[in-house]
């Protein structure tokens, strides 16, 4: 009886609770958030210091459409909490994919989870949250190549990093249909390679935003490589056909033995494959990288282009007519060789060896281990150049001395003086007087020596083309504001729709960076991160900017327009001729002129003997004493090295410049201008650098040049075609990127590296 009564009471209680509950509407205000590990970064991979994409899936369980904020919480270089967020509209009872982007700190911790939130429209309530860790976070010195497809296309042989300066990792499994919808979502990779299996360019799932993102990424210096499939291609009929170096009627299908430059194959194993050759037209600006010899019965051998390229803004599009993912190609073990085809595509100089060969050479003492070599961090001069820490050195020394005097006056000196005068009973009065006096001195001194004006110190890279008014600029800078409050920093305020970015991922300067003791929050629009209300504490804040637009006309936030080099050039007797002038706000110093003869031949380089003053005519016909930029060693094994015989870059590397950067911290990395010029030149031709002296034995005898910062300086990808490149720098120049703080322009000074490209038709 007791048990029956208990069961009855239990049933009544449950029934009452169910009656009071509203199960149909209990979850109507909830949003289900899902993030796959492979969507944290590109295919689950990211790089410290680079913009990083996260693809989230949101399910709206409400019967009404709604707007939500999707937010990624991460720290910036100073420890402040960045709330990178994006507004997303959800359909009623619908599922929606969205991209959120954030600048991953250059000292990101692998163990720290990534926190993603979903909030209501006015950010007053959290609707969902998840924490996850990406599969792989690469260090900033890592080269990343993304492949839209599932095969490595022969690039796996380069990942052992025994003959190269920096390690290489490959991100496979990407697809055009799942690429980010903003260009900075691709900024972690140096190159994107499309092959069959990487999604079709005419797929309706490839959104217009993704297409635009891909174009902008290339215009800002990216390298897109398209490996045409053996059978069929949909690029020429897609919305991205403008990216191709050639038109549909310039593509010709052939069948035959694979080109010999793909590598060696036994005669009995060589089989015919489908290929695409290209016909070029005068004046279309197509760079011929590789040709294939076609044999005919009744006419001479015909060389047809099989790999072509074209400059696209500051970047490049390469088109390969041999399907490197074709099973017939891979069955023949192609591509292979000591200098595989990718060396020609990227102008890499280092030989490639098999893992077995590498292990045996290391074991026999014929090759040094990469871990036993010295490493010179070339980009470390950038933080030293923009740092404002040196401005506090005098104040800090004065504060230390003042504290020492205060300790002496309040302690031993006052005690001795009072004791001599037999007035020890007045010690408290004297002590309080000393405290008040030194407090007044401290406050007055702080008021007098504290900087009272806002200032910007920058290092900026400008890439310009003779045939376009737009430039691409990348800037590292420090902003000092004498205030304790959030300040609105805005890039290119006259063009709010431009996809320009500002961020604070940090700059490695050696040692451990320290953040503020009072970390604060600020939001960043992940869909358009060109403006942010950033907290300042009367000290310098480091930022990184990326800008694409015009700087040759007056506009808000630009101190003065920059009139870049201009002139009409031509080729005469195989050499560039013509005259150039510029209207920059000062002389262009340490000018280099690089003539690229085309067909992937080694460029020639001249060092202009004097400063190039504004409006001064630079006559190319008067240039003498040129030399090759790089010369591959005749001894392909690199058993012996004579650095000066390896061209201009070999001469630069002969004395191992940059040794002082190895252990430099803070302003110690502020190097003399003469040394900094060498670092800029090495970074400008980084992919073409002669390989390190990997045959040397012993510890720290071979040197690897690496670049945790300054990847944007490399323009090797533009050297395959027929063009002239001018490089120089402006000292003590204002920031050439339009920027305002609280709608006002801030006084600025720093280094501006100018690179100007002229294509010969």
Q: Supply the CATH number for residue 79's domain.
A: 2.60.40.150
Contact between residue 760 and residue 466 where contact means Cβ atoms under 8 Å apart: no
SS3 letters for 366-378? CCCCHHHCEEEEH
Q: Which of 333, 351, 367 is the last residue of a domain?
A: 367
Q: What is the pLDDT of residue 298?
A: 77
The pLDDT of 392-405, averaged and rounded, is 56
Contact between residue 516 and residue 80 where contact means Cβ atoms under 8 Å apart: yes
Residue 292 lies in a domain: yes
| R_g (Cα) of the chain, nearest Å | 31
State whether 154 and 113 are in the same domain. no
Query: Is the pLDDT assigned to residue 666 strictly greater than 70?
Result: no
**CA atoms of 406 and 54, how far apart (whole Å):** 54
Of 216, 281, 280, 311, the closest CA to residue 757 belongs to 311
Query: Is the pLDDT assigned to residue 296 strictly greater than 80?
Result: no
**CA atoms of 722 and 603, how far apart (whole Å):** 9
State whether 230 and 352 are in the same domain. yes
The band of 440, judged by pLDDT with boundaries at 50, 70 and 90, is confident
| Range name among 66-70, 172-176, 210-214, 384-388 with the lowest pLDDT average | 384-388
Query: Is the pLDDT assigned to residue 141 strictly greater than 90?
Result: yes
**CA atoms of 435 and 421, how far apart (whole Å):** 21
State whether 199 and 122 are in the same domain. no
Domains of the chain: total: 3
Residue 533 lies in a domain: yes
State whether 133 and 145 are in the same domain. no
Cα 608 off chain centre by? 29
Residue 5 lies in a domain: no
State whether 89 and 185 are in the same domain. no
Q: Which of 138, 163, 183 is the last residue of a domain?
A: 138
The edge-to-edge listing of strands for the beta sheet with 95-103 is: 31-34, 51-60, 95-103
**CA atoms of 389 and 403, how far apart (whole Å):** 21
**Beta-strand pair 575-583/618-619:** antiparallel
**Is the dihedral angle over the CA atoms 258, 263, 264, 269 positive or is it negative?**
negative
Query: Is the pLDDT assigned to residue 621 strictly greater than 80?
Result: yes
Three-class DSSP category at 9: helix
Query: Is the pLDDT assigned to residue 468 strictly greater than 50?
Result: yes
Residue 606 lies in a domain: no
Question: Going by C-beta distance under 8 Å and a sequence separation of 6 or more, which residues neighbour residue 300?
Answer: none
For residue 281, the domain's CATH number is 3.40.50
Query: Is the pLDDT assigned to residue 20 strictly greater than 50?
Result: no
Three-class DSSP category at 468: coil
Mean pLDDT of the chain: 89
Three-class DSSP category at 740: strand
Contact between residue 563 and residue 552 where contact means Cβ atoms under 8 Å apart: yes
Query: Is the pLDDT assigned to residue 630 strictly greater than 70?
Result: yes
Question: Going by C-beta distance under 8 Å and a sequence separation of 6 or more, which residues neighbour residue 283?
Answer: 761
Query: Is the pLDDT assigned to residue 9 strictly greater than 80?
Result: no
Peptide bond into 621 cis (omega under 30): no
| Residue 182 CB neighbour total at 10 angstroms | 25
State whether 77 and 158 are in the same domain. no
The pLDDT of 222-250, averaged and rounded, is 95
Quote the domain boundaries for residue 501.
455-549
**CA atoms of 37 and 752, how far apart (whole Å):** 40
DSSP symbol at 744: B
Q: What is the pLDDT of residue 589?
A: 97
Residue 334 lies in a domain: yes
Strand partners, 754: 462, 728
State whether 186 and 313 are in the same domain. yes
**CA atoms of 440 and 168, how far apart (whole Å):** 59
**CA atoms of 135 and 46, how far apart (whole Å):** 9
Q: Which of 110, 138, 166 is the last residue of a domain?
A: 138
Higher pLDDT, 672 or 333: 333
State whether 134 and 154 are in the same domain. no
Of 163, 111, 164, 157, the closest CA to residue 141 belongs to 164
| Residue 366 CB neighbour total at 10 angstroms | 14
Q: What is the pLDDT of residue 669?
A: 63
The band of 110, judged by pLDDT with boundaries at 50, 70 and 90, is confident
Contact between residue 281 and residue 249 where contact means Cβ atoms under 8 Å apart: no
Residue 83 lies in a domain: yes
Strand partners, 55: 99
State whether 110 and 165 are in the same domain. no
- Residue 668 has phi, psi (to 5 degrees) of -65, -25
**CA atoms of 394 and 396, how far apart (whole Å):** 5
The pLDDT of 559-582, averaged and rounded, is 95
The pLDDT of 590-618, averaged and rounded, is 96
Q: What is the pLDDT of residue 123?
A: 94
Query: Is the pLDDT assigned to residue 394 strictly greater than 70?
Result: no
Q: Which helix (H) or strand (E) holds 533?
A: strand 531-537
Residue 650 lies in a domain: no
Q: What is the pLDDT of residue 552?
A: 96
Instruction: Give all strands (DSSP E) within 232-386, no chain letters.
Output: 251-256, 273-278, 287-294, 302-312, 315-320, 374-377
Query: Is the pLDDT assigned to residue 616 strictly greater than 90?
Result: yes
| Highest mean pLDDT out of 17-21, 428-432, 556-560 | 556-560
Percent pLDDT > 70 in the chain is 87
Q: Which helix (H) or strand (E) holds 431?
A: helix 427-449
State whether 186 and 130 are in the same domain. no
The pLDDT of 359-382, averaged and rounded, is 90
Contact between residue 702 and residue 368 where contact means Cβ atoms under 8 Å apart: yes
State whether 148 and 222 are in the same domain. yes
Higher pLDDT, 447 or 637: 637
Identify the burial level of 391 via C-beta atoms within 10 angstroms of its C-beta, where 0-12 means exposed, 13-18 middle and 19 or more buried. middle
Q: What is the pLDDT of residue 420?
A: 74
Instruction: Give all strands (DSSP E) within 20-65, no chain letters.
Output: 31-34, 45-47, 51-60
**CA atoms of 566 and 716, how far apart (whole Å):** 22
Q: How far is CA 551 from CA 217, 548, 554, in A?
A: 20, 9, 8
The band of 17, judged by pLDDT with boundaries at 50, 70 and 90, is very low
State whether 153 and 92 are in the same domain. no
Q: What is the pLDDT of residue 418?
A: 64
The pLDDT of 269-274, averaged and rounded, is 94
Residue 325 lies in a domain: yes
What is the maximal distance between C-alpha atoms in the chain? 122
The edge-to-edge listing of strands for the beta sheet with 66-75 is: 126-132, 114-120, 66-75, 81-90, 521-525
**CA atoms of 278 and 291, how far apart (whole Å):** 9
The pLDDT of 678-704, averaged and rounded, is 89
Q: Which helix (H) or strand (E) holds 171?
A: strand 168-171
Cα 351 off chain centre by? 26
Contact between residue 179 and residue 101 where contact means Cβ atoms under 8 Å apart: no
Question: Going by C-beta distance under 8 Å and a sequence separation of 6 or more, which residues neighbour residue 437?
Answer: none
| Residue 266 CB neighbour total at 10 angstroms | 8
**CA atoms of 438 and 33, how far apart (whole Å):** 58
Contact between residue 724 and residue 576 where contact means Cβ atoms under 8 Å apart: yes
- Confidence (pTM): 0.89
| Residue 363 CB neighbour total at 10 angstroms | 9
What is the CB-side half-sphere exposure of residue 364 using CA atoms within 13 A? 8
The band of 400, judged by pLDDT with boundaries at 50, 70 and 90, is low
Peptide bond into 335 cis (omega under 30): yes
């Amino acid at each position: 009886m007791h048990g029956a009564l208990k069961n009855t009471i239990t049933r009544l209680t449950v029934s009452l609770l169910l009656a009071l509950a509203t199960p149909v509407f209990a979850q109507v205000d909830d949003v289900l958030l899902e993030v796959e590990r492979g969507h944290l970064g590109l295919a689950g991979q990211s790089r410290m210091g680079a913009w990083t994409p996260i693809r989230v899936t949101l399910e709206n369980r409400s019967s009404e459409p709604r707007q939500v904020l999707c937010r990624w919480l991460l720290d910036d270089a100073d420890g402040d909490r960045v709330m990178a967020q994006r507004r997303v509209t959800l359909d009623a009872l619908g599922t929606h994919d969205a991209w959120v982007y954030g600048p991953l700190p250059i000292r990101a911790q692998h163990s720290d989870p990534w926190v993603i939130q979903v909030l209501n429209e006015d950010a007053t309530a959290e609707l969902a949250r998840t924490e996850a860790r990406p599969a792989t976070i690469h260090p900033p010195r890592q080269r990343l190549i993304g492949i839209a497809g599932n095969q490595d296309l022969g690039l796996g042989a380069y990942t052992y990093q025994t003959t190269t300066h920096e390690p290489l990792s490959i991100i496979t499994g990407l697809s055009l249909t799942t690429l980010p919808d903003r260009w900075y979502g691709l900024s972690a990779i140096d190159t994107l390679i499309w092959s069959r299996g990487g999604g079709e360019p005419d797929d309706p799932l490839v959104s217009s935003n993704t297409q635009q993102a891909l174009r902008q990424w290339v215009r800002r210096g990216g390298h897109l490589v398209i490996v045409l499939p053996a059978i069929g291609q949909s690029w020429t009929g897609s919305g991205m056909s403008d990216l191709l170096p050639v038109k549909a009627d310039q593509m010709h299908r052939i069948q035959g033995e694979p080109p010999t430059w793909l590598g060696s194959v036994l005669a009995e194993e060589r089989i015919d494959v489908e290929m695409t050759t290209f016909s070029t037209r005068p004046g279309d600006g197509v760079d011929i990288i590789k040709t294939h010899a076609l044999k005919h019965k009744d006419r001479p051998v015909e060389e047809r282009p099989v790999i072509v390229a074209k400059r696209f803004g500051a970047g490049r599009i390469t088109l390969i007519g041999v399907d490197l993912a074709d099973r017939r190609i891979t069955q023949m073990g192609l591509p292979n060789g000591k200098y595989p085809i990718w060396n020609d595509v990227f102008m890499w100089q280092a030989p490639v060896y098999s893992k077995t060969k590498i292990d045996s050479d290391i074991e026999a003492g014929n090759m040094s281990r990469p871990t036993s070599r010295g490493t010179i961090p070339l980009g470390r001069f950038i933080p030293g150049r923009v740092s404002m820490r040196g401005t506090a050195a005098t104040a800090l020394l004065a504060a230390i001395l003042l504290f020492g005097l205060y300790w002496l006056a309040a302690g031993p000196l006052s005690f001795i003086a009072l004791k001599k005068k037999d007035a020890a009973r007045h010690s408290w009065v004297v002590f309080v007087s000393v405290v008040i006096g030194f407090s007044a001195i401290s406050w007055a001194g702080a008021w007098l020596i504290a900087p009272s004006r806002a200032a910007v110190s920058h290092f900026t890279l400008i890439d310009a083309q003779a045939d376009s008014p737009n430039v691409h600029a990348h800037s590292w800078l420090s902003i000092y504001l004498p205030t304790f409050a959030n300040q609105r920093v805005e890039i290119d305020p006259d063009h709010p729709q431009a996809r320009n970015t500002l961020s604070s991922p940090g700059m490695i300067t050696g040692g451990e960076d320290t953040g503020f003791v009072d970390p604060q929050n600020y939001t960043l629009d992940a869909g358009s991160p060109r403006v942010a209300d950033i907290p300042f504490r009367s000290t310098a804040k480091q930022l990184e900017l990326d800008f694409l637009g015009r700087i040759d006309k007056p506009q808000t936030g630009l101190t003065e327009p920059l009139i870049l080099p201009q002139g009409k050039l031509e080729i005469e007797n195989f050499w560039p001729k013509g005259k150039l002038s510029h209207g920059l706000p000062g002389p262009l110093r340490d000018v280099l002129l690089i003539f690229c003869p085309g067909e992937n031949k080694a460029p020639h380089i001249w060092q202009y003997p004097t400063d190039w003053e504004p409006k001064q005519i630079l006559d190319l016909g008067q240039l003498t004493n040129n030399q090759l930029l790089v010369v591959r060693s005749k001894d392909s094994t690199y058993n012996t090295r004579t650095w000066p015989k390896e061209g201009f870059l070999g001469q630069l590397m002969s004395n191992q410049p940059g040794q002082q950067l190895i252990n430099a911290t803070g302003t110690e990395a502020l190097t003399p201008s003469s040394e900094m010029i060498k670092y800029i030149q090495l970074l400008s031709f980084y992919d073409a650098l002669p390989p390190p002296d990997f045959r040397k034995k012993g510890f720290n005898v071979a040197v690897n040049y690496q670049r945790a910062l300054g990847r944007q300086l490399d323009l090797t990808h533009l050297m395959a075609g027929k063009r002239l490149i001018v490089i120089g720098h402006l000292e003590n120049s204002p920031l050439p990127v339009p920027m305002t703080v609280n709608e006002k322009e801030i006084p600025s000074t720093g280094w501006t590296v100018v690179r100007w490209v002229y294509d010969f038709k």
